[in-house]
């Protein structure tokens, strides 16, 4: 063998034919091209919205941290009583999953309503109205099913 010469390579480039999957993907990309261009046009607007949402979220959490660093008088004892009521509710709710949902939330709601009665009354009014609307809608749906049969 000679050290200075290499044998001539005889190579030929052969392109593989497209498979059915590749053709389908190519067709899909061509069909979706106007929509992707539209999304690319909207991208700066969406980025601006996302940055404003993140700023709002950051403000919310910074206000929350500021509130927890300088709470009103008696905030932590109230929070402790309400949390303890939830733990007692979990302890009493052995067995059913519905009890585990209703007892802690109910006891925490009672504890919170003792400390914040004005807010509890306003929440109860809104919840009562919503409950009445839902029950009326359910009654109408059952009545229509009953009349159809």
pLDDT at 46 over 80: no
Residue 79 lies in a domain: no
Domain range spanning residue 41? 21-70
State whether 110 and 144 are in the same domain.
yes
For residues 30-53, average pLDDT? 81
Residue 12 lies in a domain: no
Are 86 and 108 within 8 A, CB to CB?
yes
Q: What is the pTM of this model?
A: 0.49
Cα-Cα end-to-end distance for the chain: 97
Question: What's the confidence (pLDDT) of residue 127?
Answer: 92
pLDDT at 1 over 60: no
State whether 66 and 101 are in the same domain.
no
For residues 69-92, average pLDDT? 91
Among 11-25, 71-85, 91-105, 121-135, the minimum mean pLDDT is found in 11-25
Helices (H), the chain: 20-69, 75-92, 97-115, 117-148
Among 30-34, 58-62, 78-82, 92-96, the minimum mean pLDDT is found in 58-62
Residue 75 lies in a domain: no
Report the domain count for the chain: 2
């Amino acid at each position: 063998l000679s050290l200075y010469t290499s044998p001539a390579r005889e190579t030929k480039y052969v392109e593989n034919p497209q498979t059915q999957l590749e053709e389908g993907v190519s067709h899909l990309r061509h069909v979706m091209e106007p929509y992707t261009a539209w999304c690319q046009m909207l991208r700066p607007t969406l980025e601006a919205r996302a940055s404003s949402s993140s700023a709002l979220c950051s403000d919310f959490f910074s206000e929350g941290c500021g509130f927890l660093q300088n709470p009103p008088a008696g905030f932590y004892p109230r929070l402790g009583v309400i949390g303890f009521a939830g733990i007692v509710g979990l302890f009493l709710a052995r067995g059913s999953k519905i009890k585990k949902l209703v007892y802690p939330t109910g006891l925490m709601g009672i504890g919170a309503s003792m400390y914040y009665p004005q807010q509890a009354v306003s929440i109860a009014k809104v919840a009562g109205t919503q409950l009445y609307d839902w029950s009326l809608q359910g009654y109408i749906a059952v009545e229509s099913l009953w009349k159809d049969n």
